[in-house]
């Protein structure tokens, strides 16, 4: 199936859903001046093509004492990076895994309640994996802004528009 790129209307629908995933198709249609059927079919297409996935997200501001832990990982050999990233992505407590450029090869992000939980988690789920040379953690201690919709894409004007 050929995937269609998102046009302005798709992005406006996604933006409305990002603000409130429970918003009705009728409300989105009214706000955008289109039919409810258009909204429904566009959402269905974007879901089928993997461009949109609607889900519930925990609001970390409501957790007892959340600590956002950034786990920086250096791999032994660069050839192990992909496999290690895939293994980390399978760990349910890890919410983000990315291959990085710079001092570390991978970044994994999780939420923990305290340092003891983080240390136990690292020993149990990360440091023993084949290919992990070393880890370093950074802890988020004060949330100035946390936008769970981090998927917004910054559009760069390349001069062709």
Helix (H) / strand (E) containing 30: helix 25-32
Predicted pLDDT of residue 58: 61
Domains plus CATH for the chain?
A: 8-48 (1.10.10.10), 60-140 (3.30.70.920)
pLDDT for the residue numbered 61: 57
CA dihedral of 30, 35, 41, 43, whole degrees rounded to 10: -10
* 11-62 residue pLDDT tens: 999 989 988 888 999 999 999 999 999 999 999 999 999 888 887 666 655 5
149 contact partners, CB below 8 Å, separation of at least 6: 18
Q: In this predicted model, what pLDDT tens digit does every residue of 96-126 receive, in sequence order?
A: 999 999 999 999 999 888 888 899 999 999 9
Q: Indicate whether this model's pTM tops 0.75.
A: no
The beta strand positions in 91-155, using DSSP E, are: 94-99, 106-112, 132-140
CA 62 to chain centre: 19
Please indicate whether residue 88 or residue 67 has the higher confidence score (pLDDT). 88
Tell me what the mean pLDDT of segment 74-82 comes to. 94
């Amino acid at each position: 199936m050929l995937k269609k790129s998102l046009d302005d209307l798709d992005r406006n629908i996604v933006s409305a859903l990002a603000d409130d995933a429970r918003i009705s198709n009728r409300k989105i249609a009214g706000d955008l001046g289109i039919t409810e059927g258009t909204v429904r079919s566009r959402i269905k297409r974007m879901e089928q093509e993997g461009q949109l996935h609607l889900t519930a997200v925990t609001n970390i501001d409501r957790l007892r004492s959340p600590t956002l832990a950034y786990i920086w990982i250096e791999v032994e050999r660069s050839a192990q990076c992909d496999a290690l990233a895939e293994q980390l992505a399978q760990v349910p407590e890890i919410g983000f895994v990315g291959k990085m450029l710079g001092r570390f090869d991978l970044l994994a992000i999780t939420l923990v309640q305290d340092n003891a939980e983080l240390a136990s988690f690292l020993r149990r789920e990360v440091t023993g994996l084949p290919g992990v040379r070393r880890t370093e953690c950074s802890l988020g201690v004060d949330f100035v802004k946390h936008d769970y919709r981090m998927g917004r894409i910054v559009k760069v004007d390349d001069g062709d528009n």
